[in-house]
Structure 1
């Protein structure tokens, strides 16, 4: 986590001459984050090398969210050719760690995150690209592409695609709301004014309301008690329409995608730490597949992925 050599010059142009640059975080992409400190002032420097990351969607979504009344980090300075963006610092009170330290606050904080989604789903999606069948299929296709060979299996990819086409057809054209696509406890910040700050939203699309509910309540990185999940679904349903079948469909689609992504991070990118999450993701996927709306997809998994290639496989492989 050494800052790029051109970072001080960028900070000079942004009015942060002489600021200290400290490592903050990396993520599953090529993006890296640094905290910039000058006296009592702080900001966050995002390093997104332009040969690997297109930061224009991040800027566009951040401004869209601000326009419709939500807390994305304010853009303080940007140089896309250099791959650098200076952002408002949301601090260190991330939802996951706050709940880990204060378990009694879990219900309250999840309720706040659900209320944010209900508010977001009442706002216009603007000009975001559509979350349509080609996108769903491209994401779900990461499972046969990366997961299957990693566990020594071959896939009937055409049958897999046909199964998803059949299952997702009832909801694939619902593109009415902003879908953040990675809305979970590691991407939500608790801010000093009591509001929630949003992170990692650059891939936002206009899609179905159930997707971000799944992201939050079927969290690949932490256990969400089924009773809490149910209570939060009921909380959402008290304010906005909720479709149980869509929740299962998009849960299965997202979890199949995540199994593929985490396997790719291991095989291609040398990041085996994500393998520890695979058993949890399998539990979510198998529960989602039990819904009648997933019958064609469940049949494919039953035919092609035996029990020993599912959650139990990762006991010997997780870092």
Structure 2
């Protein structure tokens, strides 16, 4: 009887593992195929890409698109602007998130529950686009870097993840010992908490950097100087040029612009993704731990 039960259990586990592995493979394919297509298209002849003859393998191999990227001053200016916005925004967001998460993680904080409720409220409701735009303009932030980095400086989700880490991953006895030794909150944060919070800091850097790097809507609303546009706006303009193909044209100049846009489109996507891929390599060992922190307890 025990053997039959063990056999059924083994068979059910095998079926479950097969289902999970099959689902995992399907997800990998769904994610990987578009990435491989973009990479293949960036090395292919634009004419073949426009005709739909390129799928996962480059056809009519050429580096013309990448030569155009390296020679385009607008793209490099947008690249530099995006790096500046990302570095500045991530630094500000990281500092503000830690300075808010640490006191909220301490049970002694007066009104802690009410402050958390107010923060959670902002996850579901906000002032809206028009009031936010008016606030940014009235504060004199319009058409400046601060209009990009300040309105979204703190993510409530990231704040809760950091707070949970400080609560669950750092022993209360450590706090108590530090207080007995005469350690104040500022020194405790800088000398004890932060050295033990390298994993959550790495995760916050990744979350904020990716969000800031991919952001384009704020720049679209708050910037009117094309010299301050981030790379994402430059890419958007290239995509808009390429979309004129759907109307059809016999104009040689317009057709050439469409081909150039098609060539640039995929190569810019590849080039713009490189910094985030490099950043992920430095924080990947902390990534799973950081995700689990927010999933275990909020």
TM over 0.5: no
Return the index of the structure with the highest Cα Rg: 2
Looking at secondary structure, tell me which structure has more strand per residue: 1
Looking at secondary structure, tell me which structure has more helix per residue: 2
Higher relative contact order (CA 8 A, sep 6+): 2
